[in-house]
A = this chain, B = another copy of it.
Amino acid sequence: MPQNTPSFIAYDALVDLLQAVFTRAGTSDSVARTLAQNCAGAERDGSLSHGLFRIPGYLGSLKSGWVDGCAVPEVEDVAPGFVRVDACNGFTQPALAAGTPLLLEKLAENGVALIAIRRSHHFGALWPDVEPFARRGLVALSMVNSFACVAPVGGRKPVYGTNPIAFAAPRAGEDPLVFDQAASALANGDVRIAAREGRMLAPGSGIDREGQPTGDPAAILNGGALLPFGGHKGAAIALMIEILSAALTGGNFSFEVDWSKHPGAETPVTGQILILIDPERGTSGGFAARVETLLDRVIDAGQPRLPGDRRYALRRASARDGIPVDGALLRDLQRMAGRSPAEPLFEVPLKAGAEADAATATI
């Protein structure tokens, strides 16, 4: 098999492999598990800029001592509707997981509840943080800031992070409606992938170090900045996200992230907010059906697909065929996990009538 032929890995096997990678890089077992699920889930769903592409960044941060891979989050019950979590310089996803039981309890009681996480490293996609709540019939809205790489409108220097916002709502009889989008014209990961591939971005995606508009990913990454999506309206969204993720949680602003003394560090330590709403309190039942009525109309008006459709389609394909992983990358991961490349990883479930495909998919 040539080195770069993709192998097709089952999700569980990829989680297992990544868990071993994280554990060997010094994280606790539970942190390793959470990060592995997050990262494998992104790869599975085609969120490639937040999947395996991020592993070197995670490992760089761990190796540099910038992030604590064994941090134990401290959950604080500050009000009947308000949970605070100090991630203690660990990753955000374990902090969210630690606060979730209390958050759900508050939500059930109050109809709305909020979790504010600080001193937390968020390096994954944001949709995995909200989708599970919508699967429980809840509406979730989350925001996280990152590190200064986005200039305000009319500005010459980066202030905001890419500052994603993610929203999830249940649908009647369908996977939840979920969107996850950076407040920048592009996600930082996409800029890095374009730079690696030598591809130009749309003009005006960012500014260069002189503050001039550019579509050159290298100029954006080297002393320049991204711009917000959608002009001054997108900039207002970026500002709101910065305020809610950092000022409101007690976390760092994106421009306060200073990893200069930790070469190799790539995971910004900031804050995250997640607001949870029980929609049935507002509607006396039938919320998910109402969402469906709206989405039917959106499709009928000619919108070709809904947010999340592509992810769910790839998730189904991955469940059927395995997750495609570059052969060389897979061998690297096996090495990082301390495993022999000869060691069999798993077996992809066979498709009826497609045994030949499935056979090549098994390594």
Contacts and interface: CB of A to CB of B under 8 A. Distances in A.
Interface string A249-272: 110010100000000000000000
Contact of A236 (B157, B248, B307): B307
A59 interface: no
Contacts of A236: 167, 179, 181, 307
A272 to B, nearest CB: 11
Interface residues of A, number: 71
B154 A304 contact: yes
Interface stretch (A14-22, A31-39, A48-56, A237-245): A237-245
A66 interface: no
Main secondary structure of the interface of A (DSSP, over half): mixed
A79 B294 contact: no
User: Which residue among A151, A281, A282, A291 has the maximum number of chain B CB atoms within 10 Å of its CB?
Assistant: A282
Nearest to A151: B301
A233 to B, nearest CB: 5
Contact of A78 (B111, B169, B233): B111
Contacts of A139: 243-244, 248
A78 to B, nearest CB: 5
A294 B243 contact: yes
Given A229-B230, A248-B282, 15 more contacts: A79-B109, A79-B281, A80-B110, A82-B112, A111-B114, A141-B240, A154-B302, A159-B297, A169-B247, A177-B239, A181-B233, A230-B234, A233-B234, A236-B307, A253-B293
